[in-house]
Every structure is written in structure tokens, then in C-alpha cells.
Structure 1
Amino acid sequence: MLGRLEVWGGTTEHGRACYYVSVGDKSLLLDCGINIVTGEMPEIDYDKLDKVDCILLTHSHEDHSKGIVELLKKGHPKKVIMTEETGRQLDEMYSEELKQYAHEFIFVEKIASHLEWFKLSDHIELCYGASGHMYGAIWFLIKIYDKTIFYSGDYNRQVQILPFHVPEKSAVLDPIDLAIIDCANGMQKMNAKINRREMHDHMDHALRQKGQNLFIANRFSKVIETIILLREQYPNLVFYYDEALYYEIVRQVKSISLFKQFRDESLNRHSENFRAKWFEKANFIFLDQDVLYLEKQLAVESFLQNGHNQMWLTSKASFMKHQDELQGPSTERVFFCDIEAHQGVNGVIELLNALNINKALLCHLDGHENLKSVKFLKSKGFYNVDICQIKASVAF
């Protein structure tokens, strides 16, 4: 039976993930995100959308999930399958919208354990596992009639705290007809140890000069592993967390003995002396990115007035949202904190070697980087990898 993929977003761009997959009379939508910078929705065919059996959501980040909320507003409620953790995060992120519009969230853990196949409906079976991108993020293996599809979502095997489930342990025996694989890092050869060493060099320099390090972090992200590593590297220094980020860290890792180090004095609620306290004594300051939106002038202008202070952003999206505030002489003390939350071509090669894939498409990187990555993979003998443009239709 013929399978077909329609790319509504996500292959030759960073974000706006949205893939329509159909086999016979069955169809699914894989993620539905927006362009984080512009807010642009995917190129959705609403006639086909209304016929899909359900939406599979890999994680809560806006470039994968916010389009679903917009669909609810337009009167297109659908069953959405996700992890319980992703559902909790969505409730926090979109609380007002979810109260207002009808929706049906189905949590995979209530149906089956990870790496365990289960029947979703007639002729559709699913299997899932943690993808290593963030807490609650998963990949999907999908069987529709005689076709098998793998969708990585945002994917990285290099985890130290987060769970990760190897998809090749899912007991999938048939060849995978189509794989949609995260390659956001493209040809970039990230080395976590080198990245951390460079980051620590910058931090050490600031601390020797009596400066401070301010981190703007998304509490729903892989940055928690970075915080753990910093705690290990600097056990005697004062760490400061705003309330939202602190409770999210503790909640996610409460079973890890390392976090017994988190003391009540690490938590500072918003109060009149909120600003003064963390300027006075904290060596490392962690604010949830939502706090930055409320405290832009404080976080950028006041903090960077001290020439030894430096500011770290955990995503380029944060930088794009605040680029107007990050102009001028202080810009050289604003750094990206490189977190391996995605994979590049080396990770793709590992997947291609582990799974029997007939056709693979790379996603989550712009067209030029996509082309370079595909050419590199073909030069290594992986002729099953190809490029797919937005709005393209691919048979499998």
C-alpha cells in the first residue's frame, strides 16, 4: 500500500515542525509548531487536517506544539498523543487557551510503557521512547497498515541526567519505510566537553574579576543538565534561582542525590529586595526566560553595567527575541550556552547504522545546511538520505 508524506513545515527551516503522513485511509499529523521568531504557522491543508486520526506531539516547545493551540482556536480539536510531562508543561504554557477551547490530550504512559508497541486504532500501531532533548520529549515509531515510519522529534543521545530510550531496542523487525530525523546541528561538530571547558574559562575569568554570571534559561529544556554540571564544577559558590526555575529543577530531578545540595536559601521569591539580593551575593544567577521578558531593563542594562558581569542565553531564540536590548558595547559579554539538545550528521549516521531505513529526510535546519548535510551523508555511502522542501509530497 502506498504511503505519502506531506511536509507542512520543518524540513528546510529551524522549527515550525509539521508533517502529514497518510497510508490508505489512515493519516496522522506529527507535531504542529510555529516559527518562534515570526509566529508563522505551518502550511496546513485544512481539508486533510480534518480527516487525520490524531496528532502525535513529541514535546512542548513552541516550534513543535503551539500550532496545535492555534488549531484549537480555529475550531479544529483533535486527539493529541503525548507524554504526561508534556501535557503538564502545555497546561502551564497555554493555560488560558486550554481552559477556553475543547481539546483531548492522551498520555502514552497510560496506554503502554516505553519501547512497547500498542494499538492506537485499526491498522495503526505506535511505539515511543525518550528522545534526550528535554524532560518529557519522545520519538515515535509508527506502523500504518504495512508501512513503518520513524519520527525522531528533537533528538540527542548525549544525556547525563535525562532519560533516553534507544529506538533500535523497540523490536521493530520490518524495514523502516520513512524516517524523519532531527539534524539541527548539521555539520557542526559539537563536543560537549570542549564546550563546557570554554564556558568554564569565561566564567572563571569573570569570577576572578569579582563578576557574576547571569543565565537566561527555559525551565522546560535541557539546561538542567548544565546547571547540575556547574554545581559540580563550583560546589562552594552561591547559586541563585528565580522561583519558577528553581521549583522546576527540583521537581524534575528530586530523585537525584546530587540535588540534596539545593538549599532553601538558593530560592529567592520575587520581592522588593529581589534585585538587590542577587546583585550582592550570587556568583551564578539563573532566571527563567519568562522573568527576562518582565525584567528586560534590569537583566540587560543594570546587570551589564558591571564590566565584569556576563550574561548567558541558552537558546538563539532567546537572543532573537531580545536582540534590540542586546545592542551596544555590552554585547561582547553576552554568550550562548551551547547545550547539546539536538544532533548533527554524526548522530544521524549513528541512527542510520542502527535502524534499517529505506528513506530518510533531515529536518530542523535551514535549506543550505540541509543540502550540505545531505551531500556529506551521501559521500559516506548513505544514499537513502534526501532533501525535502516545504509543501513537498513524498511517496514511500
Structure 2
Amino acid sequence: MMELTILGGPGEHGRSSYLLRRDDQYILLDCGIDIQPEYDEEHARLRPIIPGLQAVFLSHAHEDHSSGLQFLQHYGYQGEIWTTRATVRQLPVCLKKMEYQHYALAEAGAMHTQQAAANSSDELQFRYVEDIVSPGQWISVRPELEICWGRAGHVPGSIWITLKWYGKNIFYTGDYSAESRLLQADRPLHHSRIVSRAYPLPGQIPDLDLAIVDAAYGVDTDRQGNKLAQLGRYMKETLLHAGTVLLPVPVYGRGQELMLWAFEQFPKVPILVEQDLLDALQLFASDEQWLQPDGAERIERLLQSPRLYQMTDDHSREQLIQTHPSALIFTDDGMMQSSKAQQHYMRIAARDDNRVIFTGDLAQGSFGRMLMMDMEHRGCQILHVRYKVHQGLPDVRQMLLDLKSPRALLVHAPASRTDGLALRLEQEGFQQVHSLLAEEQLSFG
């Protein structure tokens, strides 16, 4: 019998971490923890599993999946963390706002504190899946453990992973999107579904005992093209009235995709971008194997464009906004919690023709959420158009069909979303689709 303990992910759009157990042995899929002050001791749950922890798999670098890595080190984990080179390069960028700058990331694949730099036994050892096996192929990494992986289309370096562990087959999407206009995604397919080589690098997936599936958008049925068409209309309307559009985006992820899309959609419009977002775009460009075939070339055209303006400090921000009163502004905080992002808002807030457009989830209590909910707001318009970097109903449905309808756990969304999606899928004939909460467990086999 094997058991899955949910450390985070289902019932919330936040920390993601899943613990597999067989007897006194464990495997950890992602290591996100809640970093709110009231959860200071949450990481302590990792302590008792360290002696039996056989391997850790890190799907990508975003902090809701990686923020607990330092505590694996703190509690003495000396095993391997399986991930990608691009993910390890991104960790300092994605964890920067959490004040993890004191962690150094060595290209050799070790993560260590400055104090422990001379002590190799105190390092986290990263192993890169792309160095040992191609996407969609299987390899044994321990006598009892085989893995197969593929590109997940969420950020460069993001992967899905399938495990064969003691005869049980477990699939984990990480954060998955097949609709990126910049990134490639490998389609995970049950081996019986592969009828031709038309599919790009398909995963040779056997019958699964459990699939842990990104379902962040619940029953939403919109495709990426519809989202972008709506976003484009709002932006075009604003620019026709000589207004400015402020787009708050995370430092690494959809922001780079949206910058590139906006640059290509509006060929005469100035684009004002924070330095951290451009630094992250350079990281995108350095990871060509994760991009669409023309991705690196498109990024280079943007970086070399005279319409692209870099904001580095308050002086450059004020000067550029005064020089370009009608522009697209990208600030590196998707929920506008930082003073920098809020200052951008204050600069454009008074004019009705300006717009702030959010493109991702807004947490309760965030500045962005409060703006969206303020029914008495005056001045610039506050809008929300989701840019897809996760899965909704059509995506989850297709993935389950591709995997031959396995037992599935829907994750990465509030319980109301996964409850609704599970009910909808069950009405369509899917069986054993679970919507659970953190701390709950599933046994299988």
C-alpha cells in the first residue's frame, strides 16, 4: 500500500508539496511552504521524514513550489533533488522577494549557505533530468525508482514527472499549460494513445495509480486566444484615447510572455519595463530548448527594439512616464504589494482613460484585490483578464483522456473551484476524481 499526504496545493492557490510514503520511505514532489508569519513552524513537518526521504522532485522554481528547500537543508537532507538546469538558475530570481539572497546557487548543482560553503555534506545536491534522459523516455534512477519527464509549458525549465516506485505509477503535472505562445509543452500520453509520431515527444505513460493534476482554473472553458483577444481589445481602446495601460506581472513567468505578445501586437507603442523583468527575459532567452522554435529570435527583437525602455529607479520611472504619456507599463509585482508597483498606480490613477489590467490570481488582502473590489473607485479603470499559465476544464478533461482516465487529484486551486470541476467531470463519466484539502491523505494500491 502507498500513501499520498498533501502538504499543500489542493484547496488553495499557493504552496504546493506532496509526500509519497511506502512503509518508512518517502518521496517529495515539490517543496512549497506557506511563508506567512503565522506559519513559521510549518516547515517543521519536514523534520521527521528526512531520514527516510529517498528523493525530491522540483517541478519549477516559483516560490510556491520551492520555498521550503532551505529547510530540507536545515534538517540535514543529503539526497538528490531532481529538476532542470533552468530551474536552478531561476531560484535566486524567484526567491529574491523572500529574502533568500543569502543562499548561493552553484552551477555545479549545489545550494548552500555562505557559512556552509566549505562543508560539502551541508549542501543540497541537484540532479538535472535533461542530462540523463530525453523528454518522454524512461530511466532508472534508483533500484526501485524509474522516472519519465516532459516540458510543462509554464516557465522555462518547468516539467511534469511520472514515477514508477515499487510498482506504483504516479503522475504529477507541476504547473502545466499547453497554450503558451512562447514555451513548448510535451503532451503526456498513455502508451495506448500514441498512434503516430505526430505528437511532439510524447510521454510513454503506463496505467496510472494516481495522477496529481493542475486544475487552477476550475471549470473555466476559455482558450488562450479568447483571453488575448479580450486583453488586446482593452489595450487598444486605451491607446486610441492616448491612455496608458499598467500591467502588474510576476517577476518570472507570464510577464515575459505578455511583454513579447504586446510588443508584437502594438508595433508603434512605447513599452516601459522594470529592470528585473528584463533580467528575467534574458534568462528566458538563454534557455532555447524550452522555447518555441522562433522564441529566442522573437525575444532578441524585443530586447533590441528602440521602443523598449528600461526602468531602473524612481528617477527613470518618472522621466519615462512623463516622456511617454501613452504607453504600456510592466511592473514586476502581479498583486501590486510593493511600493514600486503602487507608485506606478498613483502616477496613472487620476485619469479615466488609463487602465490597470491584472492577468493572474489576486490573493485576499492584496493591494490588487482591494482595487478590484473597490466599488467606489474613481479614476483609471481596473480590469482583470486572466492569461493562461495553468489548466481549466477543457485542459484537464483532455489530459485525463490522454492518460486513459486514471484516478486523479485536482490541485492548485481553492476548494470551491476543484469541487465544481470534480462534479463536472464526474457528470461527464470520469470516476475517482478527488477534490481534497491540505493535510488530507489518499491511499492507493
Normalised TM-score (structure 1): 0.89
In the aligned structure 2, how far is the partner of 1:180 from the partner of 1:4? 13
The 3 A distance-change label for structure 1 pair 125 and 389 is same
**1:96 alignment partner AA:** H
Counterpart check, 1:275 vs 2:315: no
Deviations 1:35-66 (A, max 9, x none): 47777447936322431112111111121111
Residue 286 of structure 1: aligned partner:
330
Normalised TM-score (structure 2): 0.80
Residue 53 of structure 1: aligned partner:
54
1:256 is paired with a residue of what secondary structure? Answer: helix
Indicate which of 298, 303, 314 corresponds to 1:262.
303
1:160 is paired with a residue of what secondary structure? Answer: coil
In the aligned structure 2, how far is the partner of 1:324 from the partner of 1:390? 24
Residue 366 of structure 2: aligned partner:
321
Pairwise CA distance, 1:307: 2.9
Residue 384 of structure 1: aligned partner:
432
2:149 is paired with a residue of what secondary structure? Answer: strand
Residue 360 of structure 1: aligned partner:
408
Question: Contact 1:125/1:142 (CA < 8 Å) preserved in 2?
Answer: yes
Following superposition of structure 1 onto structure 2, how do residues 158-173 of structure 1 map, counting pairs within 5 Å?
A: 158-168=179-189, 169-172=202-205
Question: Contact 2:153/2:176 (CA < 8 Å) preserved in 1?
Answer: yes
In the aligned structure 2, how far is the partner of 1:133 from the partner of 1:293? 24
**2:101 alignment partner AA:** S
1:150 is paired with a residue of what secondary structure? Answer: strand
Residue 16 of structure 1: aligned partner:
15
2:397 is paired with a residue of what secondary structure? Answer: helix
Structure 2 unaligned residues grouped into runs of 5+: 105-111, 117-122, 190-201, 287-294
Residue 121 of structure 1: aligned partner:
142
The 3 A distance-change label for structure 1 pair 273 and 385 is closer
The 3 A distance-change label for structure 1 pair 321 and 125 is same
Question: Contact 1:23/1:144 (CA < 8 Å) preserved in 2?
Answer: no
In the aligned structure 1, how far is the partner of 2:132 from the partner of 2:17? 24
Residue 236 of structure 1: aligned partner:
268
1:316 is paired with a residue of what secondary structure? Answer: coil
How much identity, in percent, do the aligned residues show?
Answer: 24
Following superposition of structure 1 onto structure 2, how do residues 130-149 of structure 1 map, counting pairs within 5 Å?
A: 130-149=151-170
The 3 A distance-change label for structure 1 pair 159 and 323 is closer
Counterpart check, 1:186 vs 2:247: no
In the aligned structure 1, how far is the partner of 2:278 from the partner of 2:399? 35
Following superposition of structure 1 onto structure 2, how do residues 74-153 of structure 1 map, counting pairs within 5 Å?
A: 75-76=76-77, 78-92=79-93, 93=95, 94-98=100-104, 99-100=112-113, 102-153=123-174
The 3 A distance-change label for structure 1 pair 292 and 212 is farther
The 3 A distance-change label for structure 1 pair 357 and 325 is closer
Residue 300 of structure 1: aligned partner:
345
1:198 is paired with a residue of what secondary structure? Answer: helix
**1:216 alignment partner AA:** P
Counterpart check, 1:374 vs 2:422: yes
Pairwise CA distance, 1:203: 1.5
In the aligned structure 2, how far is the partner of 1:74 from the partner of 1:335? 44
The 3 A distance-change label for structure 1 pair 392 and 318 is closer
In the aligned structure 2, how far is the partner of 1:386 from the partner of 1:319? 25
**1:270 alignment partner AA:** T
Question: Contact 1:148/1:175 (CA < 8 Å) preserved in 2?
Answer: yes
In the aligned structure 1, how far is the partner of 2:85 from the partner of 2:169? 25
Q: CA RMSD in A?
A: 2.7
Question: Contact 1:77/1:103 (CA < 8 Å) preserved in 2?
Answer: yes
**1:286 alignment partner AA:** F
Question: Contact 1:175/1:357 (CA < 8 Å) preserved in 2?
Answer: no
Residue 340 of structure 1: aligned partner:
388
In the aligned structure 2, how far is the partner of 1:82 from the partner of 1:355? 23
In the aligned structure 2, how far is the partner of 1:375 from the partner of 1:38? 35
Pairwise CA distance, 1:331: 7.8
The 3 A distance-change label for structure 1 pair 297 and 364 is closer
Indicate which of 222, 228, 237 corresponds to 2:254.
222
**2:322 alignment partner AA:** F
Pairwise CA distance, 1:283: 1.3
The 3 A distance-change label for structure 1 pair 274 and 365 is closer
Deviations 1:114-148 (A, max 9, x none): 22212221211111111112222110000102111
Greater CA drift, 314-323 or 138-147 = 314-323
In the aligned structure 2, how far is the partner of 1:283 from the partner of 1:244? 19
Report how many residues are paired: 394
The 3 A distance-change label for structure 1 pair 331 and 45 is farther
In the aligned structure 1, how far is the partner of 2:70 from the partner of 2:382? 33
Question: Contact 2:43/2:71 (CA < 8 Å) preserved in 1?
Answer: no
Greater CA drift, 95-104 or 139-148 = 95-104
**1:306 alignment partner AA:** R
The 3 A distance-change label for structure 1 pair 23 and 106 is same
Structure 1 unaligned residues grouped into runs of 5+: none
2:279 is paired with a residue of what secondary structure? Answer: helix
Pairwise CA distance, 1:306: 2.9
Question: Contact 1:177/1:357 (CA < 8 Å) preserved in 2?
Answer: no
